[in-house]
Structures are given as C-alpha cells and as structure tokens.
A and B are shown apart, each in its own frame.
Chain A
C-alpha cells in the first residue's frame, strides 16, 4: 500500500468547513483512498472512499486531485462532535487470494473550536 502523509493536528471553528489534506504521491492506479476517523476511546469509523472521482456522502466530501497524488476530506459544517483523529489510508482492492490490511498511520488530530 502507498504511504500517506497528513498534518499531525488542525483546528477548525465550529460551523465552518474543515479541510483535511492527505498526500499519497506513490499511489498506484488500482489503489483507493479511504478516510476513517476515531473519536476518543471509540473504534474507528468509516467516512468515505474514492478512486479518482470526487465523492460525497452524508458525512463528508472527498476531493482527489487529477494526478491522484493528494486528496482532501471536507467536513462541510463542522460540529464539536467531529473532534477526532482522522486517518487517510491508501489501499488496493481485496483479492480472493489474499487480504490487505488497513494500515493506520498517526492521522490528523482535528479539534473543533466553539
């Protein structure tokens, strides 16, 4: 799996959009970009994933650059409950012959400020 680089911490004002960057310059053509988050003391929670097109769901939007070497997770209207560690993970698809683990780095600690 390609390595990812994220800033260790970020702050965002409540109600504003939180933009979390991730660099994955060694990503290969069949690898997806996943985002998970972990709220204090809880299990990681899936947020969104994408291959090359921008994606949006009820939680967030994912913007992937055209060269796929970086991406941004956008939480459109951050609330205090969005305070968490956010993990950007690049991973290939699972095949029938093996399994690729999710490699969690140290992520970005996002703090939403009232």
Chain B
C-alpha cells in the first residue's frame, strides 16, 4: 500500500475557496467510498472533519466539504479563515483491513 498523493501546499486569500486533492488507486480511493479528511494544527492531534467522502461530523463547519471522482478525492474549504491554516490529511480504506494516509497538505494564506 503506497501513500495517497496530496499537494505539499495550497494557499489562498481570506474568504476564498481552496481545494486539496488526494489521489489514490483503483485499490483504495477508487474502490471504496471510505475516504476521510483530518485537520491538524501544530502540536495538536489530528481532528476528523470529513468521513465517508462527503459526511461531516457533528460540530464541523459546513465550510468544509468533500467529494470524489474516480481515484481522486477532494476537500474544499470555502470562505477561508485564519483558523483554517493547518495541515490536512486524507485517509482511505484500502481493502484487506488496510488503511492508508496521504502525505499531507499545508494550507496557508497568500
């Protein structure tokens, strides 16, 4: 199982929308609708923000949304705010009880 591919960094202006991609294969992202996304601030544990490709846990801002096309999942952050500056990781079930993470994307302001 290879790590899912994410861009190292994505930047945007306050109020803008940005999208982070997460590319896998037909054995993980492409096969299962079991993609999740995590937000991680420096020195903190990851926080679940999207699961099952598109679902948000209770309490997560609706500015975060997820989607998938083929073997690529995406996280969109709308109306970028200061507190959104963080690292973001995707994760997918990869069959046979395996789980695989993406390499992470650093979101920052322009």
Tell me if chain B binds chain A. Answer: no
Give me the interface of A with B, judged by CB distance under 8 Å.
Answer: none
Give me the interface of B with A, judged by CB distance under 8 Å.
Answer: none
